[in-house]
Structure 1
Amino acid sequence: MSDYSDLDKKQDMQVLHSMGYAQELERRMSRFSNFAVSFSIICILSGGINSLAQATSGAGGAAIGIGWPLGCFISLVFAVAMAQISSAYPTAGGLYHWGSILGNRFTGWLTAWFNLLGLVTVLGAINVGTYYFFMGSFGTPYFGLADTTLTRIIFLAVITGAQALVNHMGIGLTAKLTDFSGYLIFATSILLALVCLAAADSYDIARLFTFSNYSGEAGGNVWPATSGSWVFLLGLLLPIYTITGYDASAHTSEETVKAAESVPRGMVSSVLWSALFGYIMLCSFVLMIPNMDEAAKQGWNVFFWAMDTQVHPVIKDVLYLAVLVAQWLCGLATVTSVSRMIFAFSRDGGLPASKALAKVSPTYRTPVAAIWTGSILAVLFVWGSSLVSIGETPVYTIVVSCTVIFLFFSFAIPITLGLLAWGTSKWDKMGPWDLGEGMFKLFAVLSIIAMVLIFVLGIQPPNDWALYITVGFLALTALIWFGFEKRRFRGPPIGEEVARRQAEIAAAEKAVGQV
């Protein structure tokens, strides 16, 4: 990176040292790479396709034409508020670190657990989505594979293991692949849009703004029967659940050049570009659908049904292959994000076996133990939760319904603390990416309102168990904190502790060959 001078490198390290941390990870990610890692996790070709039935079997065309921009704006307000904080505190701990500095040890610890559980379970959910896309596109039609728990877990173990291996081998290789992923998502979404428009029988633009109610049997029971206005609100979960994971830009702060500037830009731009290209792609898909009533009846199979009905088999398979690769790269970027969260929380003693989990390989400059631990936990989560049911609903389905609630809670906690801490001794110095007090507080308040909406929508049937799991998790964290962690967990270094760590910082950097 020719524009990354020795002075820039020194400034990045000084910022990290001022927060009490060593430059153990290798700083090789460009501004585009930082954008690409979040853009890859958002991956409109993953959530935008695999969860499409939330719209087509809900409010119909209006769920895309009107609902997609609204839902994307909700995600954007979080990204903008988080960008302000990330510019001031560019560390791999991201949300956890912000929650600690702007609040206290407990708020940081709680943020860490919400974020960590959300990331581990979302990694499992992303790769399960890839499995079902593979089965629908190639597995069943070409290889005659049947969906069984054993097949699912073997597939999951293989692709997650490959993602972990790439991450193990260094951020350089990972960044190259996520950079490629960024271009692949751009190109494939536009190609898919063009194919859909070419395959459309007519261009009924009005359907994008026509409100329907396909809840209940009319929509393949994707949503229980409810009112038209309520099913439209539930459809907002499609863009909200798709446009998440942009905290990956923060988790890779310590591997990004000019992090205080690059990270906030990467976070916000990944949301904006995903929103735009997702809108073009999904609107084109809706226009291609031959009959909206028939599409709604397909439920979760709507994407394959429409493509099989309207698109030439060879073109369809080429698109399927590109989407499948993009979905694997989405999981790859998620392994990067979850491993950096485990690493950052562990170096402050937040997890069992923290010393091992915080260790960085001097050869690859990656947190190897954290990478494999996060990946194995994601596979074990899917395997274990698939075997147990509550009533007729698998525990996996119930927990995944909580995943995004947990992630957005981990976003909302530091944002709320930032709203309260602005201008106080806890936060009196802003980074180079500065909205100003008025704009930040506006986006912070909007984020809090959005969090309430997401929580209310996220606990509605068929995901009503999410309420009990969230409340139970909060009760469990309170018990663990007051029973054990309040006395043990010290949190990130603050104040005089930073000065006392300078010798440790120098030793840690020497151990990994940082100069």
Structure 2
Amino acid sequence: GGVFPQSDNMGYLFLLCLLLPVYTITGYDASAHTSEETKNAAVSVPKGIVNAVFWSSLVGWIMICAITLAIPDLPTAAGQGFGMFFATMDAILPASLKLVLYIGILAAQLICGLATVTSASRMLFAFSRDDGMPVGSKALASVSAKFRTPVTAIWTATVLCILYVLLAMSIKVGEMSIYVIVVNSTLVFLFLSFTVPLVAGLFAYGTAKWPTPGPWAMSAGLYKLVTVLSVVGMGVILFIAIAPPNERVLYVILGFLVLALVLWFAVENRRFEGPPTGNRIAARKAAIAAAEAAVGEKR
């Protein structure tokens, strides 16, 4: 269980190898989630996204090459499965250097976890502020007068993440843990969330709906070319993500989509008004100004 079918097709094997960087080069959209708190966001946010992808790709490529070249025996390593990395480190590194490396990896994982919680809590706060959560939007949208942060949303996201990991690691479907299934499903939904606005932009960019791009922009023709290539690439990634032995991921995705559609047409499309527009934006700005004045902050 949990093993990809054996194949001599080099194209298929190459695509499988993309799964490793795909799992690690994620979260680069965090700059967008905090754009409201970013100075000169129209330039800083896209610059942050590009830098995150570039440096992650470069450093990751060097690291993967180093680990691959350090493996003493590839057939033996392949048979060790998830323990391959640790077995390789045991074989090539002295104990002291190995400890330093593991501490560095632990620190990097902690920072990645904090970044994930930051993005999750920021999105939870933003959705709640627009009354987008089915329950608890008012509490989750509240901002602490003392810390000037959405404390409720932050702690809610943090606790839910921890509970999810603890529960998912202890439950299995067949030989595969719920954790693996949900993580793979999350990867699919993550790239779907990128694909939807890209496709929408493909038809809107350079038209009356989107006549004036920001300062960090491509020409309409180049944008459409890059978008098509991106969507095709994401389609390949999504196909690999639901291929055996991850076919259960497809069931989770379809079940979630059906549930989401039922909830939307049964309840949410009549309750949720969408992001604020017109007078609601003016009222939101007035409320923010009043809150800032209440804590002595000057614009």
Counterparts of 1:513 and 1:246, CA distance in 2: 34
Partner of 1:224 in structure 2? 5
Structure 1 residue 400 displacement after superposition = 1.4
Q: Deviations 1:59-104 (Å, cap 9, x if unpaired)? A: xxxxxxxxxxxxxxxxxxxxxxxxxxxxxxxxxxxxxxxxxxxxxx
Partner of 1:239 in structure 2? 21
Structure 1 residue 388 displacement after superposition = 3.4
Q: Deviations 1:266-301 (Å, cap 9, x if unpaired)? A: 001110111111111211221222221222122111
TM-score by length of 1: 0.55
Q: Of 472, 485, 488, which residue of structure 1 is paired with 2:268?
A: 485
Amino acid at match of 2:55: W
Alignment map for 1:4-23 (pairs within 5 Å): none
Counterparts of 1:433 and 1:421, CA distance in 2: 17
Q: Deviations 1:409-465 (Å, cap 9, x if unpaired)? A: 111111111112223444233211111212221222122212211111000111111
Structure 1 residue 512 displacement after superposition = 5.0
Partner of 1:460 in structure 2? 243
Q: Of 52, 55, 65, which residue of structure 2 is paired with 1:283?
A: 65
**Is the 1:362–1:513 contact (alpha carbons within 8 Å) kept by the matching residues of 2?**
no
Counterparts of 1:480 and 1:492, CA distance in 2: 19
Partner of 1:310 in structure 2? 92
Amino acid at match of 1:471: L
Q: Deviations 1:146-171 (Å, cap 9, x if unpaired)? A: xxxxxxxxxxxxxxxxxxxxxxxxxx
Amino acid at match of 2:274: G
Alignment map for 1:116-515 (pairs within 5 Å): 222-229=3-10, 230-351=12-133, 352-515=135-298
**Is the 1:386–1:396 contact (alpha carbons within 8 Å) kept by the matching residues of 2?**
yes
Across the aligned residues of Structure 1 and Structure 2, the Cα RMSD in angstroms comes to: 1.9
**Is the 1:386–1:395 contact (alpha carbons within 8 Å) kept by the matching residues of 2?**
yes
Q: 1:335 to 1:433 in 2, by over 3 A?
A: same
Counterparts of 1:432 and 1:274, CA distance in 2: 24
Amino acid at match of 1:445: V
Identity %: 53
Counterparts of 2:58 and 2:233, CA distance in 1: 20
Counterparts of 2:216 and 2:73, CA distance in 1: 47
Amino acid at match of 1:320: Y
Partner of 1:86 in structure 2? none
Amino acid at match of 2:153: A
Counterparts of 2:208 and 2:139, CA distance in 1: 34
Identify unmatched segments of 5+ residues in structure 1.
1-215
Counterparts of 2:165 and 2:66, CA distance in 1: 33
Q: Deviations 1:365-413 (Å, cap 9, x if unpaired)? A: 2111111111111122223333433333322221111111011111111
**Is the 1:222–1:299 contact (alpha carbons within 8 Å) kept by the matching residues of 2?**
no
Amino acid at match of 1:403: T
Amino acid at match of 1:302: M
Q: 1:512 to 1:252 in 2, by over 3 A?
A: farther
SS of aligned partner of 2:160: helix
**Is the 1:348–1:491 contact (alpha carbons within 8 Å) kept by the matching residues of 2?**
yes
Q: Deviations 1:31-75 (Å, cap 9, x if unpaired)? A: xxxxxxxxxxxxxxxxxxxxxxxxxxxxxxxxxxxxxxxxxxxxx
Q: Deviations 1:101-141 (Å, cap 9, x if unpaired)? A: xxxxxxxxxxxxxxxxxxxxxxxxxxxxxxxxxxxxxxxxx
**Is the 1:408–1:451 contact (alpha carbons within 8 Å) kept by the matching residues of 2?**
yes
Structure 1 residue 503 displacement after superposition = 2.6
Amino acid at match of 2:187: V
Q: Which has the higher contact order (CA 8 A, sep 6+)?
A: 1
Structure 1 residue 260 displacement after superposition = 1.3
